[in-house]
Every structure is written in C-alpha cells, then in structure tokens.
Amino acid sequence: MLSYRHAFHAGNHADVLKHWMYSLVLDYFNQKDKPYWVIDTHAGAGLYSLDSTVANKTAEYVDGIQRLQKTQAPDAFAGYLQAVAAAGNGQPNLYPGSPCIASYFLNAADKLRLFELHPADATLLEQHFLPQKRQVSIQQKDGFEGIKACLPPPAKRGIVLIDPPYEVKDDYARVVDCIKDSLKRFATGTYLIWYPRLQRPEPQQMIDKLRSLNTDYLHVTLDVQQPSADGFGMHGSGMWIINPPWTLRQTIEPQLAWLASTLAQDATAHAACEGDQR
C-alpha cells in the first residue's frame, strides 16, 4: 500500500520516543572511532514542514515535539533536540524524519542506506540528500527486501531502524521475519523496531515473537492516554531494541516518568522499560 504519508504525524509523541532513543544509540556508536552503517527500511520523506497543510490537518506535533521544546528537558534529550534544531538550518517549524536524525550524527566515514517505497517521498529524499550522495544511498524499494543486500555491512558495525506504517496486518509478521533473516546475516547489529500501541492483537503478538528470539533486548513503551472507548486509534507506541548499547537502559529509564508527564494527554499516561541484557 502506498497511501501512508508520515507528514500527517511528523513530530508527534511516537516520533519523540522513536527519535530520542535513536539519537541515543547513534551517539553511543560515535564513541568508538570506527565507521558504521545505518540502514533505515522505511525512511519517509526525511524532512517535514510543521507549517504545512498536511501536518496541520492533525497537528500532532503540538502534543509532541513542541511540548519538549517548551520545557527544560533533561540532559539526556540534548542530542535529540540538537538534531531537531539542526535540521531546520535556521528555519523554524521543520521537523527531521529518521534519515535526517541519523545524518546529524554520522561522521564522514559512516554510511546511510535508505529505503522508501512511496515514489513522492523517495523523490523528496533524493533531493534532500543530493549533496551527500557519496555517503547516503537511497532506493525506492521495499525496505524489508532491500535490507538483505546491506547485511552484513562492510564495516561490521551497524544500526538498523525498522518502522513500517503497519497499515496492513502483514507488516507485523514481516517485521519478525525481517529480524530473523537479518540476525542470520548480521547477528551483532543493533536493531530498533518501532510499533504502535493499539487495541488489536497484532502488536502484542509481534512483541511475543520478538521476545521468543532469545536475544539481548530493551523494550520501552510510552502511553500518552488511555485506550479509546470505541477501540480505535493509537494510545501510545513502543520501541524494541535488539543488541542495545549497554548504557541505554540506565540512560533512558530515569527519564521515562518525566517524558510521560510531559507528553500526557490524560491522567493515565505512563511509560515503562524492561529488558534482558546478558
């Protein structure tokens, strides 16, 4: 399906959770003076205008990134907020998608591999990263398939972000299949999987299957409101990270209560963290 456009949701509470954790992982990889690859299976358009008609159809960013920007955020959010500010290049109300977040942290020897199936978004990616075409590769292709040719990366260090729109139920199963295949090719990679928290069985079924893979993992959830009475809509989101940096939990866990309070849309908002790191 090609109907999903992330511009409607750019900068919302789910982006904040995803991109904050992504930034922490990228920053950790930079602590070693060794090159690495970043692979993004569902890259989107890369950069979004929060002044656009599309973004303001739902204006989800108002209860997401704008709340963080109006607070005195803890130091743990500094890198993420700096990446957001840098993406605007002096222009207000621009929000970076995951490709631009990654680009902010990359060093000259690192590589970024982006997959985006939607033709309009793939074109926007190409235009945005044209000056970096030696470092950034963009393919208009199904990322679940495209990732196979990237693993293992020549650098033997890598971060993989998997965040499909989950518009179709098959995406949940495809995530699990993708991770199983990817771990066979590149067992030591760090994999970040974003997913929506919904009142339907597929998200929990996916998490149960990921847990059964018996890998080191960190699982973080953020619910900003109670599930709706009619059973529809996303009340929160989660991140499942395989082979997380050993410092990640101790960085994230103390900030979760503050994050849930800051992004709360009702009194039930809460965040949680659990994991198995050996």
Give the predicted TM-score (pTM) of the model. Answer: 0.95
Percentage of the chain surpassing pLDDT 90? 83
Q: Where are the alpha helices (DSSP H) in the chain?
A: 13-29, 53-58, 65-69, 78-88, 98-105, 119-128, 143-146, 170-185, 201-211, 248-252, 256-263
Percentage of the chain surpassing pLDDT 70? 97
Q: What is the DSSP letter of 226?
A: P
- pLDDT higher than 80, residue 90: no
Mean pLDDT of the chain: 93
- pLDDT higher than 80, residue 274: yes
Give 80's Cβ-side CA count (13 Å radius): 23
Euclidean distance between CA atoms 36 and 156, whole angstroms? 7
Euclidean distance between CA atoms 37 and 44, whole angstroms? 18
Euclidean distance between CA atoms 64 and 93, whole angstroms? 13
Task: Give yes or no for a contact between 274 and 219, defined as CB atoms under 8 angstroms apart.
Answer: yes
Euclidean distance between CA atoms 39 and 137, whole angstroms? 10
103-155 pLDDT, tens digit per residue, is 999 999 999 999 999 999 999 999 999 888 899 999 999 999 999 999 999 99
Q: Is 6 helix (H, G, I), strand (E, B) or coil?
A: helix
30-80 pLDDT, tens digit per residue, is 999 999 999 999 999 999 988 888 778 888 999 999 999 999 999 999 999
Residue type for position 220? V
Domain ranges of the chain: 6-276
Contacts of residue 25, Cβ cutoff 8 Å, sequence gap at least 6:
159, 190, 192, 241, 244, 245, 248
CATH of domain 6-276: 3.40.50.150
- pLDDT higher than 70, residue 1: no
Q: Identify which of 59, 43, 31, 146 has the alpha carbon closest to the alpha carbon of residue 96.
A: 43
Residues with active-site annotation: 163
Mean pLDDT on 228-253: 93
Residue 3 has a pLDDT of: 43
Mean pLDDT on 236-263: 97
Residue 119 tokens, joined: 């033709």
Give, in degrees to the nearest 5, the angle at Cα 143 between 141 and 149: 90
Residue 10 has a pLDDT of: 87
Report residue 42 CA to chain centroid gap: 10
End-to-end CA distance of the chain: 39
Residue type for position 118? H
Residue 53 has a pLDDT of: 80
